[in-house]
Structure 1
Amino acid sequence: MACAVRPGGPDPEEVARAAARRVRRPLVGEHGKLMLIAADHPGRGALGVGGDAMAMADRGELPRRLVTALARPGVDGVLATPDIVEDLLLLGALDEKVVFGSMNRGGLHGAEFELDDRFTAYDTRSIVVGGLDGGKMLMRIDLADPATVTTLESRAHAVTELAGQGRAAMIEPFISRRVDGRVRNDLSAEAVIKSVAIGSALGASSAHTRLKLPVIDEMERVMAATTLPTLLLGGDPTSAPDRTFAAWEKALAVPGVSGLVVGRALLYPRGGDVEAAVDQAVRLVSGG
């Protein structure tokens, strides 16, 4: 299916004009929760959903699914790379929505340099100029890799810069390592807690920092390790949908958890009903 978002290549300045026209809103509404749709996986070469390795490859279909999801009541906004944010701007889908720009996509999925999570997408200046609400940064920490300290340093600078501009920093930390040549994130409670402690301390101020964390069995222990507002990530839907939603519901009840950032599980649900999947996630976040 061909992508019709930018037929023939639009006037490049139209993206800037669309960004300037966008109607912004407060980061968090009266209920204090956020329900965000994630769409930054393709920028890292991660196109798979479940058993379909190329599920997100159609760049005409992805914006259509995103527009459908963003139009559902209770969806606060999106987390995406510049190309996808710009498509959504051109489609007029981002008015009154929160927009987080994905900052680092350099650690390509499956690459020998996968743990090199350097910034290759948004930076603080482009987030501010584009009128975005914040920046999200993946931060994988391999204690056996000396290059990890460069990742930590660059994240610290970004957190400081975003805070200085009054923009939110969303940190997604993991303790990671290579197993048989593949990068694996350690999802034990101890590892997630350690990643939370490291991520929370980054930068000269945490006043605008939020965490984005995986859902694990011991979320109470994890959330006891931070005072920062925390969003839950959805991940690749490998288990039955009922089990996934039940895990989200349980984790959302833990104090300090303030919402969901979910992409593939809602944009490419089993059965294909994006609206129903998104509405179910919204109900969980709102407590309805």
Structure 2
Amino acid sequence: MRDAPDLPARRMAALVETRVRRPGAIADAAARRRRPASVLGEHGKLMIIAADHPARGALRAGADALAMADRARLLERLCAALARPGVNGVLGTADVLEDLLLLGVLDDKVVIGSMNRGGLAGTAFEMDDRFTAYDPDSIAAAGFAGGKMLLRIDPDDAGTVSTLDACGRAVSGLAANGLMAMVEPFIAHRVQGRVRNELTAEAMIRAVTVAAGLGATSAYTWLKVPVVADMARVMRSTTLPALILGGEVPADADGAYGRWRAALGLPGVQGLVIGRSLLYPPRGSVADAVDRAVNLL
């Protein structure tokens, strides 16, 4: 199955057939995978394509509410992105990463397993980010580089402490295996029934400092943060390496690329983690959008 990126119906059928008749092929593919010598690419940064949104029920990309619901289309776009020079990593849940393993496109890639996907988008329990996907042991067994967790801190929700506790244990568990713990922190509030992240410098500083202190050691902890106003002040609040996240598909793509470029010039910022903005660009191809992002590095 190594002639990706195009993914016609016959190849989707082959993935299903493998899962039905040879489920052990997934572990075999993980064991055979050629692993990178470093988390950094030739450009000296980490460039990761994110694809863990569907597992949280977040399927929208731009105006299309179900863009990421078409698995063949998503995999085709992921394969196209991963084939571009300078892209050296991918982030996803087991179902997506295992499809990519079977397609043979993860050699020499930094693979990050997404861990807590229990806070489903748009639900009454969205703030309850339980760990429903990878755990430290399964990430280590698969030979991946680390795990990513979402940490939303709601000052008015006592349940936040459960997520803090789970993230702290995950950070410790990953570090015990020498694996990266990628923490994505926000101060969040429920407004008119919907969860909103507070994207101010003050809120991000508080979220970053809380995230940095999780676990028995921060030696393997990286942060995944959005670009906000006064980003330099945010980055002065920690010595931990940070990756800039892309977020939703921007209406102003030029503005988004400009903000990413400026953030990449700050001490501590070590690369990009971008999903929908590159996989479903408002204009142009996936390859064009990815190449433009890589050129920022």
TM-score class, shorter: over 0.9
What amino acid does structure 2 have at the position aligned with 1:80?
Answer: G
TM superposition outliers: structure 1 runs of 4+ over 6 Å: none
One-letter amino acid of the counterpart of residue 185, structure 1 = N
Q: Within 5 A, what are the aligned runs for 1:1-288?
A: 3-4=12-13, 6-8=15-17, 9-25=20-36, 26-29=38-41, 31-285=43-297
Tell me the alpha carbon deviations over residues 217-241 of structure 1, each in whole angstroms, 9 at most, x when there is no partner: 2110100001000000000023221
**CA 1:165/1:277 → structure 2, altered by over 3 Å: closer, same or farther?**
same
Give the C-alpha shift of residue 32 in structure 1. Answer: 3.4
- Aligned with 2:95: secondary structure? helix
Equivalent-residue separation in structure 2 for 1:65 and 1:100 (angstroms): 18
- Structure 2: which 5+ residue stretches go unaligned? 1-7
Deviates more, 1:209-218 or 1:266-275: 266-275
Q: Secondary structure at the match of 1:158?
A: helix
| Alpha-carbon distance in 1 for matches of 2:46, 2:199 | 23
**Hey, what does 2:5 align to over in structure 1?**
none
**Distance apart, 1:10 and its partner CA:** 4.4
**Contact conserved, 2:251 with 2:282, CA < 8 A, in 1?**
no
Question: Structure 2 counterpart of 1:17, which letter?
Answer: D
Q: Unpaired runs of 5+ in structure 1?
A: none
1:147-175 deviation line (CA, Å, top 9, x unaligned): 11111011000101100100000000000
Secondary structure of 1:6's counterpart equals helix
Letter of the 2:282 counterpart: R
- Secondary structure of the 1:60 match is helix
For the residue of structure 2 that corresponds to 1:255, the secondary structure is coil
Aligned Cα root-mean-square deviation (Å): 1.2
Report how far residue 62 of structure 1 moved: 0.6
* Structure 1 residue aligned with 2:3: none
**Structure richer in helix, relative to its length:** 2
Distance in 1 between the 2:272 and 2:134 partners? 22
- CA shift at 1:271, angstroms? 2.6
**Distance in 1 of aligned mates of 2:67 and 2:170:** 32
Counterpart amino acid of residue 92 in structure 1: G
Q: CA deviation at 1:29?
A: 4.1
Give the secondary-structure state (helix, strand or coil) at the position aligned to 2:138. Answer: helix
Q: Report the TM-score, using the length of structure 1 for normalisation.
A: 0.96
The Cα of 1:244 is off from its aligned counterpart by 1.1
Residues of 2 paired with 1:5 and 1:205: CA distance?
43
Shift of 1:259: 0.4
The answer as to whether partners of 2:148 and 2:181 remain within 8 angstroms in 1 is yes
Q: Is the 8 A contact 1:38 1:80 kept in 2?
A: yes
Instruction: Render the CA deviation track for 1:136-155: whole Å, top value 9, x for unaligned.
Output: 00000001111111110110
Code of the aligned partner of 1:28: L
Q: Does the Cα contact within 8 Å between 2:62 and 2:282 map onto a contact in 1?
A: no
The structural deviation recorded for 1:279 is 0.4
Q: Give the superposition deviation at 1:247.
A: 1.0
3-state SS in 1 of match to 2:123: coil
TM-score, L = length of structure 2: 0.94
